[in-house]
Structure 1
Amino acid sequence: MDDLLRYPAIDPTNFDLIVIGTGLPESVIAAAASSAGKTVLHLDPNPFYGSHFSSLSLTDLADLLQSHSSPSPSPSPAYNVHDDLVVLDLVSRPLYSSVEISNFSPEVLEQHSRKFNVDVAGPRVFFCADKSIDLVLKSGASQYLEFKSIDASFVGDGKGAFLSVPDTRSAIFKDTSLGLTEKNRLMRFFKRVQGHLAGEEDARIPEEDLESPFVDFLEKMGLPPRIKSSILYAIAMVNYDQEGVCKDVLETKDGIDRLALYNASVGRFQNALGAMIYPIYGQGELPQAFCRRAAVKGCLYVLRMSVAALLAEKDSGCYKGVRLASGQDITSNKLVMDPSFTVLLPPSSSPSHSVQESLRLLTLGDDRGKVARGICVTGSSLKPDISNLLLVYPPRSLFPEQVMAIRVLQIGSSLAVCPSGLFVLYISALCSDIEEGKKLLHLAMDALFRLPVSGNPENDATVQNETAEGGSVAQSENAEAVKPTILWSALYIQDLTTGQVGSINSAPMPDGNLNYSDTLEATVKLFHEIYPNEEFFPETSSAENSDDDNGLSLET
């Protein structure tokens, strides 16, 4: 508190919008509102940008997960009235659970902990042609970001084999695991889809097929199980098992749209080998880029500043402002909060009925299930000649009852997320409860990694493999067959929340998807709810906001 009291008072004391937390949705809204000419105050209790979308050192990641995995001490609910305003305490709620952090090589990692930029919300990539890239270009955030290509995509069979995803004509021809008949059927399928998208009459897919499950259409096209699995889970990125009783059936028309996005992503940028790219220094660069755009447009930033309470009108319960931990009151017309925060309700006998009803809406849960996440640091690559890759375990590939796809993203040191010679791997899967999530993570890890045998990973054969980064240490004779050894891991279950819209708005948590499409769609919707008459990042002729492909920096 003494440090907070030494903060200079914020001036002015009234803003059009106050944003609490610098997660991606909050940062995009701050930048969009600033671009629309609104006065914005952006606060964050953390000393870093990004909140649940940040990229952190191993130590800071562990601290974040632990701090958000248990309820913070809450003051007793009060009903304080001052100058016709109700003072409502703001408290944090736990959004992570079952946090397991293991360090199998403290002597190796301790000296390098600060050299990691580890994503809290991984695995995550950008498809080169999706709306998130268009937004990065349109907003001007691209000038603060650099990307590199994800070099390859694979489907795991649960028996140790990684099968290449046949996502392009050249990939189909080069895939020696496919027979001639399979290649011909797959080529006919892609040609049919391309013809349908181009409006060719003889290739048009009937309406009844477009409204049927995508898995049925793939079966109708004569595609074998392995090819169907690759298309569904590694190209269309379906989360749930599409065979039998399915929680979320993908219709053919939506599956075709996802194929079109994937196909348009391949080759959009000259230096990208495939459909996906990843930001240098980690996903946490994305919210920082939007914060920089907001600052250029006049947004005021204050880190390490907590908000102690919200201010509401005594009679109506309508939001009026915030009380900072420093004691200063700041007013605004609108508020957007990090999903970690919620309002502590006062005793039911204190405020009027209308105030109680207004406050009750602020504390309603909007949980939409959970996502299991795992982060592992290894001393060698899953594929000795590839640094940055995506691996998908389709449903039922690891055990018969597996109904969710499991995704694994490996990133090497060429993307500045870890020291040279090491690799960071992100694992995720949707889950209905903690036990299911932990089981999915552990089974994926068992299939991919092994623990150090001697307790000294520097002497382990898998750590001594020559890495795809160009390491000079000796390579084992059977590098393909040896699993990478885990040096460090963090496993946790994250709650999925979709955010809330009202006089006080709450941003969504990171979802369970591989890309940002749904998160950004929800963010755009939230912005229009707040400012229905404002354009979301108005077009500009300024060269700084170039919206062509050359506005994106993509390294080889």
Structure 2
Amino acid sequence: MDEEYDVIVLGTGLKECILSGLLSVDGLKVLHMDKNDYYGGESSSLNLNQLWKRFRGDEQPPEKLGTSKEYNVDMIPKFMMANGALVRVLIHTNVTKYLNFKAVDGSFVYNKGKIYKVPATDVEALKSSLMGLFEKRRLRKFFIFVQDFEESNPKTHEGMDLNKITARELISKYELEDDTIDFIGHALALQIDDAYLDQPAMAFVKRVKLYAESLARFQAGSPYIYPMYGLGELPQAFARLSAVYGGTYMLNKPQCKVEFDANGKAYGVTSEGETAKCKKVVCDPSYLSEKVKKVGKVARAICIMSHPIPDTNDSHSCQVILPQKQLGRKSDMYLFCCSYAHNVAPNGKYIAFVATEAETDDPQAELKPGVDLLGPVDEIFYETYDRFEPTNCPDADGCFISSSYDGTTHFESTVVDVISMYSKITGKALDLSVDLSAASAAAAAAEE
């Protein structure tokens, strides 16, 4: 413990483990500590006994649910976009060799009381039952524009500067209806609110294009992939990477206290009477609660079921997005489902989550629209957790604090935070221009 490190990372949540791996690969001397005796922190996966202990205390799970060890229930359930930033990080670091992935069966959107498959290409637009014939044709034209669009080729811009016009102005050119705009923005571009409509259209088009390209990568029913045995595998894989590059790991280290000098700059971390010195500290909000502010609260339901979500084509794994306007809310609601097909539950069992940004103090009532779409459930657990963001100045105190995980069922916002933190810590951009064929190979191997 009395050694000196470039960076001490506190907490083994996914964000912290990715950063630990990236920094070790860069040649920095990293010490990674966690007050818990397991990897994953808030983003760990629990077996059935651990799930019951967390929510039901000393109660024992019913035998009909199967054996405890066959469950891997994610506490922060999220899918990965097949062409997305997290997959690029996995390939950049070669972490794919520690993991097996499987494509996610379906991606759906809730509209006027029903669940529909999300159309993401011009061909799917014409087949979709989500809209009428004339709207299908208008949407098809929009999709063709997005598919053909290349930022470096002005011929594909149709005379528009997407860095100057807003997403709203671009969409108005295609005369799309409000419900169509709703699902494009929230189920394809994965926006969490409608603020994007009045921002430059470039980012919006890139996100829709990313969805379509990810969908095409595996020719599956969705653009998402998900690791076998659940997301708890991810933090451990990045921890392994860090160790390969010389990172040191210490679990079960109680009361990790960040030490500050007279100028308020972090110089080390003390645990069990010993202080390890460092130049920078990376941590989740729980380690420096005085340097974060509460910015929201996530409400969620965790369900064990014996069937897939109805109206999702019997998908063993899927995402359903319920756009805010469809529910008369300020924020979207997300349904996430995976099953024994991804080795996260015994044969015949499904794990479903319903999550949203909490707008009341009654998660049960608030989540009802999503829970009602699940059909009968064997067991259901409700909870809320607070979301925090850092308020400190890392240049002044040497502390780099991650933001809490939001209620979305995809990793796009998570990786944005990681990449931003990496740039602040190292002073350089993370190069994610990688060959995505490695991801295809990893997923294909998992499918066999």
For Structure 1 versus Structure 2, the TM-score category normalised by the shorter chain is 0.7 to 0.9
Aligned partner of 1:477 in structure 2 is: none
Aligned-partner Cα distance in 2 for 1:247–1:203: 19
1:134 lines up with 2:91 in the alignment: no
- CA 1:522–1:229 in 2, change beyond 3 Å: closer, same or farther? closer
Aligned partner of 1:86 in structure 2 is: none
Aligned-partner Cα distance in 1 for 2:112–2:73: 26
The letter for the 2-side match of 1:524 is: I
1:56 lines up with 2:12 in the alignment: no
The letter for the 1-side match of 2:158 is: R
SS of the aligned residue for 1:366 comes to strand
Aligned partner of 1:337 in structure 2 is: 283
Aligned-partner Cα distance in 1 for 2:157–2:269: 59
- CA 1:257–1:44 in 2, change beyond 3 Å: closer, same or farther? same
2:192 to 233, 239, 244: 239
CA contact (8 A) 1:130 1:517 kept: yes
Correspondence list, 1:326-365, <5 A: 327-342=273-288, 363-365=290-292
List runs of 5+ in structure 1 lacking aligned partners. Answer: 1-9, 67-99, 344-362, 450-482, 540-545
- CA 1:331–1:364 in 2, change beyond 3 Å: closer, same or farther? closer
Correspondence list, 1:331-410, <5 A: 331-342=277-288, 363-383=290-310, 385-398=314-327, 401-410=328-337
Aligned partner of 2:217 in structure 1 is: 268
Aligned-pair distance for 1:39?
1.9
Aligned-partner Cα distance in 1 for 2:291–2:32: 24
1:528 lines up with 2:423 in the alignment: yes
Aligned-partner Cα distance in 2 for 1:324–1:174: 60
SS of the aligned residue for 1:491 comes to strand
The letter for the 1-side match of 2:263 is: S
- Render the CA deviation track for 1:64-106: whole Å, top value 9, x for unaligned: 6x7xxxxxxxxxxxxxxxxxxxxxxxxxxxxxxxxx99x9973
Aligned-partner Cα distance in 2 for 1:209–1:537: 23
Larger relative helix fraction: 2
Aligned partner of 1:6 in structure 2 is: none
Aligned-pair distance for 1:293?
0.5
Correspondence list, 1:252-267, <5 A: 252-267=201-216
CA contact (8 A) 1:378 1:486 kept: yes
SS of the aligned residue for 1:486 comes to coil
1:22 lines up with 2:12 in the alignment: yes
SS of the aligned residue for 1:372 comes to strand
- CA 1:154–1:526 in 2, change beyond 3 Å: closer, same or farther? closer
Aligned partner of 1:549 in structure 2 is: 437
- CA 1:524–1:192 in 2, change beyond 3 Å: closer, same or farther? closer
Aligned-pair distance for 1:291?
0.6
Correspondence list, 1:79-478, <5 A: 106-109=62-65, 111-122=66-77, 124-157=78-111, 159=113, 161-176=114-129, 178-197=131-150, 199=153, 201=155, 204=158, 206-207=160-161, 211-214=165-168, 217-240=170-193, 242=194, 251-269=200-218, 272-313=220-261, 315-325=262-272, 327-342=273-288, 363-383=290-310, 385-398=314-327, 401-435=328-362, 438-445=364-371, 447-449=372-374
TM-score relative to the length of structure 2: 0.86
Which stretch shifts more, 507-516 or 253-262? 507-516
Aligned-pair distance for 1:408?
0.7
Aligned-partner Cα distance in 2 for 1:31–1:105: 36
Aligned partner of 2:382 in structure 1 is: 491
Aligned-partner Cα distance in 1 for 2:141–2:256: 61
Identity of aligned residues (%): 25
- CA 1:292–1:212 in 2, change beyond 3 Å: closer, same or farther? same
- Render the CA deviation track for 1:178-197: whole Å, top value 9, x for unaligned: 44323222211212333443
- CA 1:47–1:227 in 2, change beyond 3 Å: closer, same or farther? same
The letter for the 1-side match of 2:342 is: L
CA contact (8 A) 1:158 1:393 kept: no
Aligned-pair distance for 1:300?
1.2
CA contact (8 A) 2:302 2:351 kept: yes
Aligned-partner Cα distance in 2 for 1:320–1:208: 45
- CA 1:178–1:329 in 2, change beyond 3 Å: closer, same or farther? closer
Aligned-pair distance for 1:523?
2.2
Aligned-partner Cα distance in 1 for 2:212–2:109: 18
Which stretch shifts more, 286-295 or 498-507? 498-507
Aligned partner of 1:507 in structure 2 is: 402
2:412 to 517, 538, 548: 517
